[in-house]
Structures are given as structure tokens and as C-alpha cells.
Amino acid sequence: MSTIPKLAIGLSAAMLLAGAAGAQSSPEAGQPGPAAGAGGDFATYDADQSGSLDAAEFSSWYQANHQTDKDGKPVSADELSRKATQAFSQADADHDQRVSQAELAGAPAG
């Protein structure tokens, strides 16, 4: 995998975690909210409130936040789906089919 996609995954994970940290200190913690352009908060995408993202939840997050390429051009739905699957496999360090906040924080950044 090239450095650019690894960097994008790492930066996206960091932004998602930053949203989660902000949500933990706010009165609305755990409440679904609008997805910020940088990924929203973890709880927004953790639909079953398990504390981690399954493949479908991760895919929703990934696709919502990677709709354009580095040049700002739209990415096709098929390409988004493929990249989301690839990013999920890479982020799921313990191979339990879920991505925790800690795994997102440890996702390759480049």
C-alpha cells in the first residue's frame, strides 16, 4: 500500500478519535450527531453502541468521509466500498472483525 492511502487512514482515524474525545466531555456524549467533515465522533458510527465499529459501521464512516480523492474528484461507490474493506482489514489489528478506538489510533499513518 502506498504512503498516501496509509496517511489518509491514519489522519482519518486521528480525526475520528478527536471527535470521540470531544463527545466524551460534552453533555451529548454517545448521542448520534451530524457527521463532521472530518469524521464526526465515534459514537455516531457505533450504531450498536458496542464501543467498536463492525465492518458495516466502519464502512459507513469511511464512505461518508472519503467521497473525493486527493484532487477533490468524486470517488465511485465501487471504489469507496473496495477502499473501505481494505482500510477495515488494515485497521483491525487483532482480527476480531471490529475496530476499536485504540485500533484506529494505531492505524498506519505513513
Task: pLDDT band for 29, please (50, 70, 90 cuts).
Answer: very low
- What is the structure's pLDDT at 18? 47
Domains of the chain, by residue range, sit at 3-26+33-105
pLDDT of 67 higher than 60:
yes
Supply the Cα-derived Rg of the chain in whole angstroms. 13
What architecture is domain 3-26+33-105? Orthogonal Bundle (1.10)
Residue 79, number of CB atoms within 10 A of its CB: 12
- What is the structure's pLDDT at 109? 47
- What is the structure's pLDDT at 28? 35
Strands 52-54 and 98-100: antiparallel
